[in-house]
Every structure is written in C-alpha cells, then in structure tokens.
Amino acid sequence: MDSPFDSEETDTPFSPPPQPAQPVRLSTSTFSAIPQSAVPAIDFRASLNDEQYAAVTAEPGPLLVLAGAGSGKTRTLTYRVAYLLSKGVRPGEILLLTFTNKAAKEMLHRVNDLTGVEPNRFWGGTFHSIGHRALRMFGEDIGLPKNFTILDADEAESLLKQTVDAESKGFFKDKTNPKPGPLFNVISLSRNTQLPIGDTIEKYFPQYKDIAYLIPPFAVAYEKKKREQNVCDYDDLLEYWLRLLQKSPSVTQYFSERFRHILVDEYQDTNTVQAQIVDCIATHHRVMAVGDDAQCIYSWRGADFENIATFMDRHPGTAIHRIETNYRSTPEILNFANRILDAQPHRRAELAKELRAARGHGMRPQVVQTMDDREQADFVIRRIRCLVDEDGVSPSEIAVLYRSHFVAMEMQLALSRAGMPYHITSGVKFFERQHIKDIVAFVRFVYNPADELAWQRIACLLPKVGEKSAQKIHAVAREHAALMRQDLIAVLETDDVKTKVPKGALDDWPSFCASLSEVAETMRAAPPAKAFDMAVNGWYGDYLRGAFADYIDRLEELKALVGFASRYETMQDLLAQIVLLNGETSDRQVDPDAEAIKLTTVHQAKGLEYDVVFVIGVADGYFPGRRAIEDGDVEEERRLFYVASTRAKNELYLCYPKVATRAGPGGMLLEPSRFLKEIDASLYDILKPPRRSYW
C-alpha cells in the first residue's frame, strides 16, 4: 500500500509549503561524552566464554551473532555495550533496538551495574519508541507536524470503523465481514510486511478472500483520515520513520553519524519495515544483529525469516559469530534438538549451528504414544505426580506445551480433576474462552428456552442488541409462545416478536432464528455432538468469521468441543458436565506466586525454561498444524518444534494420541509428527505407559 507521503499534493495539513532543503547540522555537543577512564575495568576474558568473548570484542563492522537457545544472548549484548564504552565510545553513539521496553531496560540496567553509566544516557528501546523520538525531531521533513498525537489500539479501531462506515455503510452489517478489530489486523499486517492486502489475506486471513477487493480502498481512506486529524497509529511510527529516512538524506546522515554502533536484539523477529530502518541508518555497516534463525516463529505477526537469512547479503563483509554453548539443557536434549533442524530443505550453511551442552548427561527425550487425548492427559498427570512426590521437582518447574489451544482442553480438565494447581500463561482456560462460552450458550438456550442468561449472551451478539433489548425480546417471545401454545423458538420470527428487535439486527434475524430452529430439530433426532456441530456451522459460524482475525484457530477449538460432546449420549448429561467442568477449572484460583504447573502455547514459552517439559499433541495435523501441511509450508512449524524442545533443562516428553477424539465418534487415526519421524530413533526412547495405573 502506498504511503500518504507519496502524494505530490500540497493542500493537506501534512504538507508544509515547499522550502529549500537544509542540511542537518551535526553537533558533537549532542553526544554525551564519557572519559574512557570513567568506565570500571572489566575482565572481559574471565567473564565470558570463548564464543561470547569473540562476539563482544569483535572489530566494528557488520556482525551477525547467531545466539542459540540458552547460550547467553543477553549477556553477550550487555557486555558488547560495556566493551564499546571501555573503548571510549560515548553512550549517545550507541543505539540499542529491542522488541520490548522491558528487554531494553534490563540490558541497560545490567550495563549500569557493569560500568556505572546510567541507562538514560543511551538511546535504547523498542523500534516504535525510537521511531517516535525520531519523528518528533524530524517529522516535519515529511510533512508530519510536531504536535501529532498517537492513537491507542481502541482509538485506531474506532477511527477505522468511522472511515469504513463513511465509505460503505453496509460493510459491517454483514456478519461474515471482518469487524473493525480483525479488519485493522489485516491492514496492519499488510503494512508491516509490505505485502499487498490481497496477498496478506490469501496467506493469513483466507476467510476474507471473497471480499479482499473491498479492503484496499478502506486502507487508503483510513490513511487520509489520519492525515486530516494529525494523528498516528502504532504502525505509523515505523512506516513514517522509514519514510523519513528514505525521503530525507540529511536525516539519514544525521542518524548514521550520530549512532556509530547499532545493536539489534532478537533480529530474527524483525519485520520488513524494521529491517529496512536498520539498513538505512547503518550506512556505515557498524551494526550487530543478534538473533537465532532457528527461533523465527512469528510470521503471523509480520516477522520475516529472510531478514536474518539475507543479512550478510545486504551488509557485505559480515562477520558471523556463533554462540553455541548451551547452559540450559542436557546433551541428550540438545542432540535431539539439533537434529530437528537438519531436515530443513533450504538451510543456508552460513546459519548452521550445533548447540553444545555445558552440563552433564541426563536421560534421553521420551516419545510417548497414547490411545487418545484423555490417556495422554492421564500419562502427564501420573508422571507429574512422580516428579513432584518422588523426585522433588517443583510444580513451577514443570511445563506442558502445545501448538494450539484446542490440544490442551483435556489436559486442563485432567489437572482440575486431579486437584493440581496450574497457570495458563497463554490465555484463559478452555471453557472460559469467548467463542466456547458463546456456542455453549447457544445450545443451552435451544435445550432450555427459559434460560434467560443463555439467551442474553447469544442475542447480544447481534448488531445493536444490548442486555435490555434482549430481555424485552425474550419476554415478548415467552408471552407469545404461551398464548400460541408453541415452542418459544418457533415464535421468534413472528411479527409480534420482531417488533422488539432493534432495526440494526433485523438483517441477521432470519438466519439467527433459522439456526436456532435447525439446532433444535437436530437435538430432537441426533446425539448431542450433532447439535453442537450444527450450531458451529450455522449462524454462529458466520459470526465467528467476522468477529475474530484468528477465526481458523477458534474454529479448530470449536471442533474440539464437538469431539468432546461425542462422549455423551444425552444433552442433559453433556450440558451438566460442561457446567461442572467449567466450575472445576474456573473456581480453582491459583495464587500467581504459588508453585503451579505451567500450561502454555509454544509461542508464549519462547525465552523461558523449565526443568521438565511435556509437549503434547506431537502428531501430524496438530504439530505441524493441518493448515501448514495443506499449504506445503511447515518450516516455521519445524522451528516452533525446535523452540519447544529447547525449553527443557532435564527431561523432555513428546506425547501424541493415536486417535483424535475431537473428530467425533470413532475418532480419527493420527500419525506421529513428521518432525519426530525425521529424527534418528537412537536419540530418544519410546515409552509405553501402562493403562490407567500409577507409576
């Protein structure tokens, strides 16, 4: 998508009158000079291992530091800053770019502990925060007034909604179209990856492919609206910073000469815009990019694997430093993890790493096949009991990792039944997730139309229907059903009831009522799972498509719920069990500081470590996911599996069910993950747990 600054028009608020170009005057007074003698003497050789020392003391120039999992990446960056200071580099001549303010603060405080140099003497922070500073200084060079304000996420979505309503009043009335939040996600990802919106939708949001042609004009109108109001959203801080560097050579020169040394943390997570910003500033090529290509797992947030893979092409003469000594895991776990990467089809030799353990030997990873997900959860519970009761492992040092939320449903239920405290660090518990509660309420209402709370939850999903209007509709429907001696659902489409339906909901009302009737008819003639499946594939399925950008993942979770429903023969038993299970998982409030088992997606576990790790659902279709397999692109999934395996310090268990119960009665046979099949069997043990007995 073109930037608003491509226009030659001069009558907009962002376009100042043409002025002769003025060179930026560089002044050394802006640099905070620090005498070399003021930095305490540090014995870098004694403080670092050979690999870290080589990277820390490398000659200035393009440096790519491939820091493997558990190898001391943060230590290397911290000591590099300290080393530069010890060589007389001023704090103001160092730019440290990170992905979280927390990471920047942690590193600069460590530098302070080492050298005594206060953090506020550096330019260090996230790409967005540094971009904001740059735009405040020089934004007028691209027509951005100094007094621009920044929209938070809610404000940006609100402005986008106003823009779309002005362009197409009926767009948001169609429930299958993305709501403002998901629509903003589509446009944002397109901007951060510099992919056309159509390509972005095809790759990441296929549920919107039929309306892809409608969205580019919305994006253009949204940009124009921001310009008129002199506001920026979060993505503008990157886009406009890059535009500033590309359009104003004097500004680029200023930053290049000011920041003699640029350090980038987690470089593998940079998106296209961020990588170009670094390249623009680092015209001197004195840039140290620290990262791990094997841990590039955020393409769905815009991270581009090619940035780290092609760094040496964009910065000729790059010196590559590998930090391969791992202080976290046993040799057996690392031998297994190293081989995960061997099967990459197009791996660049320059990026190859071989993690080596600094620790002594331990047990080999254990591959565990169970009959289904219930037996998988049973195995994990029994093994955890043994670890805690017999081996003295703290519950907080045990993690259960999974690729997708739906894989963890049975695990959550099993832990709750066993009375084991656990934290979910990657979201809310399964039965508390919004779409799960929605579909359960939908079916609950059909089963018991007098259930007003269930009715309110689903009715309020309709446009312009609030709690009071939902109550009025239900009251009228109840009275009319009693008068006509009919079922309440059967009278919802009568004129007497429709008079209470807000105008904004009338377009959805027929399909909403039809879906309720279909579920009711199915419920009378078929098992409970069929009724749930009908609900998922009816009106609510269309609503889900527009309401959530991660529609595909949420649909998988609803299918898991359908599989769970297949265990029950009556709707009464199923709904009662869901309520009881929800109570079991919700009422058990765990003190955040208490020792508890961690349940989390692999994405959320990146950067963390545990004594014992269980990776569940290690089967094709689960890990790698079905969509990745169908698209023929499983390489990011492979890296994700590598990240999962390298979280474990002492013990690693890779579990998978033989039968996918979420597929319904009879289940679906599963194969172990292709990532397991690619690894030599001598690097792991196959463990066959005894059926329903304790260790």
The reply to whether 621 sits in an annotated binding site is no
Q: Is 616 exposed, middle or buried (0-12, 13-18, 19+ CB in 10 A)?
A: buried
What are the structure tokens assigned to 238, written together? 């990157």
Instruction: Give one DSSP letter per residue of 582-632, joined into a string.
Output: HHHHHH----TTS--EEEEEHHHHTT--EEEEEE---BTBBTTBHHHHHHT
Q: Which of 323, 388, 334, 324 shows the shortest CA–CA distance to 650?
A: 334
State how far Cα 345 lies from the chain centre: 25
The answer to whether 72 is a known ligand-binding residue is: yes
Contact criterion met (CB below 8 Å) for 132 and 175: no
Return the C-alpha torsion angle 453, 459, 460, 465, nearest 10.
-130
Quick one: DSSP state of residue 672?
B
CB atoms within 10 A of CB 13: 12
**69 marked among binding-site residues:** yes
The most distant pair of C-alpha atoms in the chain lies apart, rounded to whole Å, by 93
Answer yes or no: is 360 a known binding residue: no
- Residue 31: phi and psi, rounded to 5, are -90, 135
Closest CA to 585 of 460, 408, 466, 467: 408
70 annotated to bind ligand: yes
Q: State the Rg of the chain over Cα.
A: 28
What SS3 class is residue 147? coil
Residue whose token pair is 């986008």: 160
The Cα 615–Cα 626 span in angstroms is: 17
Give the whole-angstrom CA distance, residue 582 versus residue 413.
9
Dihedral pair phi/psi, residue 481, rounded to 5° = -65, -40
Is 73 labelled as part of a ligand binding site? yes
Q: How far apart are CA 127 and CA 273, in angstroms?
A: 10
Q: Is 472 annotated as a binding residue?
A: no
**Binding site for ATP: residue ranges?**
67-74
**Binding site: residue ranges?**
67-74
